[in-house]
Structure 1
Amino acid sequence: MMRGVRAVLFDLDGTLLDSAPDLAAAADQLRVRGGLPSLPLNQYRAHAGAGARGMLRVAFDIGPEHASFDQHKAAFFSLYERSLTERTVAFDGVDAMLAALNASGLAWGVVTNKAQRFALPLTGAMPMFNGAAAIVCGDTTPHAKPHPEPVLEAARRVGFAPADCIYVGDDLRDIQAGKAAGMRTVAACYGYLGPDADVDTWGADAKVNSPLELLKLLDLP
């Protein structure tokens, strides 16, 4: 059980939102336009946490070092921007969890590597984010996770010291950022864990297998 927590900060994709269907649809549309056969969602899902890099790796087997990567990334972003709210939903239990945080008086916010171009329209379209005390995006500060600065910026915005906050995420970078910021960390094991993820080696202070398990850690009803 985590004592003395005054604010809870969350990663977005893979922790609060299941955005894989919209990310995969954009990448797969680009793949089909290139004359390749469509791939099923389950081939994309585990890589959704890596954003464009992960989606283009699945769709075209290319990385940032490839000559056409930037061109493909720009096209992917354009397609995704047009449809980022079509299939994206909160994970089961997230609405109830956030409602419990609101009712308890605990502050909460979001720290994502997703750029403002995508994160702000997405969260703005979903009423559950009305209670967020902060939404820090990948380009809000000069650094992205695993650098601690975005997490520290969120702590400043919610008005509490890092030691009074916990950070919840489904990626090693989340745990690294939270620990570097001086926060306790929680690994969301229901998220977009990649095929090589070994959560036990991340060094998180706790693990949860569903959003509602977080309430037990916080001793909330």
Structure 2
Amino acid sequence: MLFPNIAAVLFDLDGTLIDSAPDLGAAADQMRVARGMPSLPLVSYRHMAGAGARGMLEIAFGIAPQDPGFDAMREEFFSNYAACMTERTYAFDGVQELIAHLEQRKLPWGVVTNKSSRFTDPLTRAMPLFANAGTIVSGDTTPHAKPHPAPLLEAARQLGVDAAQCLYVGDDERDVVAGLAAGMKTVAASYGYLGKKTEIHAWGAHAEINSPLALLQLLASA
């Protein structure tokens, strides 16, 4: 047991609770195929899935937000993703059981993601997993997105829990940075997407887990 006085658990979404990489990658790959380019395998996209449109377009076309035409391609990607975002997305193995354990112990839980509410809301409504989430904070819920602490503080406020008694779990360095800035305990999910920086030991999280259910060991007596 590492976290004895946790009153709520907050999670990042993509790469932490759900594997959305297949749909995100498909949305970008559809753009490649439409331009006569060869399809790329999912493994090419997976590690950057946590970066959303920016990450997917970087893999598919090697472009960055500052490049000409990026904004138009991002909107095309968004349109593709909106049409397919529930087709291949699923909860990681063990997540259903993890959430069931939290709910059985009446430990409030919620989601803090940088994903826009344009996608977060319909996606979480479509998945029964989120039916009892106490809060779902998207990237545009507050004026700032992670790594700023504002979204995490807003989630704690909505749950009615002191931020210092919250635990935040995420698979990206910005999740740990945001959690620490909010005064929360942090856990790095090494089974997630991780992005370009895979040295998760350097992120400064209080703990690391290699599967969703491993979190229960850290909360054994919470």
What TM-score do the two structures reach when normalised by structure 1?
A: 0.98
C-alpha displacement of 1:195: 4.0
Matched with 2:24 is 23
State the distance in 2 between where 1:177 and 1:194 align. Answer: 16
Secondary structure of the 2:131 match is: helix
State the distance in 2 between where 1:193 and 1:140 align. Answer: 24
C-alpha displacement of 1:193: 1.4
State the distance in 1 between where 2:121 and 2:218 align. Answer: 29
Matched with 1:213 is 214
CA contact (8 A) 1:111 1:150 kept: yes
**Which residue identity is paired with 1:150?**
P
State the distance in 2 between where 1:54 and 1:73 align. Answer: 11
Matched with 1:110 is 111
State the distance in 2 between where 1:167 and 1:67 align. Answer: 37
State the distance in 1 between where 2:62 and 2:221 align. Answer: 44
State the distance in 2 between where 1:132 and 1:209 align. Answer: 23
CA contact (8 A) 2:4 2:221 kept: no
Q: Which runs of 4+ in 1 moved over 6 A?
A: none
C-alpha displacement of 1:194: 2.3
State the distance in 2 between where 1:47 and 1:79 align. Answer: 17
Matched with 1:73 is 74
Secondary structure of the 1:9 match is: strand
Could you tell me which runs of 5 or more consecutive residues in structure 1 were left unpaired when the two chains were aligned: none
Could you tell me which runs of 5 or more consecutive residues in structure 2 were left unpaired when the two chains were aligned: none
**Mapping 1:173-188, distance limit 5 Å:** 173-188=174-189
CA contact (8 A) 1:165 1:183 kept: yes
**Which residue identity is paired with 1:204?**
A
Secondary structure of the 1:191 match is: coil
C-alpha displacement of 1:140: 0.4
**Which residue identity is paired with 1:5?**
I
Q: Note the alpha carbon deviations across 1:118-158, whole angstroms, 9 max, x for none.
A: 00100000111011000000000010000000000000011
**Mapping 1:87-166, distance limit 5 Å:** 87-166=88-167
**Which residue identity is paired with 1:155?**
A
Secondary structure of the 2:148 match is: coil
State the distance in 1 between where 2:138 and 2:180 align. Answer: 18
C-alpha displacement of 1:220: 6.0
State the distance in 1 between where 2:221 and 2:48 align. Answer: 32
CA contact (8 A) 2:112 2:138 kept: yes
**Mapping 1:19-58, distance limit 5 Å:** 19-58=20-59
Matched with 2:172 is 171
1:82 aligns to 2:83 (yes or no): yes
Secondary structure of the 1:131 match is: coil
CA contact (8 A) 1:100 1:220 kept: no
State the distance in 2 between where 1:119 and 1:195 align. Answer: 24
C-alpha displacement of 1:47: 0.4
What TM-score do the two structures reach when normalised by structure 2?
A: 0.98
